[in-house]
């Protein structure tokens, strides 16, 4: 999943891509509810074979 500046994930507005690697991509975003910066990691299915089992339960959103 590749995101661009201006895309939205729920209340989060993507500002920029911070980096990417074998495990996924990390984006700088803005939490529009609390008006603060956050980092969002989108893990790739290739990064870990068991990812498909827990994908519906897992979300990586951390405050910067």
- For residue 49, what are its two tokens? 């074979």
Residue with tokens 């690697």: 21
- Residue with the bigger pLDDT between 59 and 28: it is 28
Q: Is residue 52 in a domain? A: yes
Q: Is residue 37 in a domain? A: yes
The string of pLDDT tens digits covering residues 7-32 is 999 999 999 999 988 778 999 999 99
pLDDT-derived band at 42, boundaries 50, 70, 90: confident
pLDDT at position 64 is: 45
Q: Is residue 50 in a domain? A: yes
**Cα three-residue angle 25-27-33, rounded to 5 degrees:** 140
Q: Is residue 2 in a domain? A: no
Cα(35)–Cα(49) distance, integer angstroms = 35
Could you tell me the pTM of the whole model?
A: 0.68
- When divided into structural domains, the chain yields a total of 1
What DSSP letter does each residue of 1-64 carry, written as one string? ----TT-EETTEEEEEEEEEETTEEEEEEEETTTTEEEEEEEE-TTT-TTHHHHGGG--EEEE-
């Amino acid at each position: 999943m590749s995101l661009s500046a201006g895309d939205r994930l729920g209340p989060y507005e993507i500002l920029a891509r911070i980096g990417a690697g074998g495990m996924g991509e990390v984006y700088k975003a803005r939490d529009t509810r609390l008006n603060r910066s956050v980092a969002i990691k989108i893990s790739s299915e290739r990064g870990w074979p068991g990812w498909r089992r827990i994908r519906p339960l897992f979300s990586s959103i951390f405050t910067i």
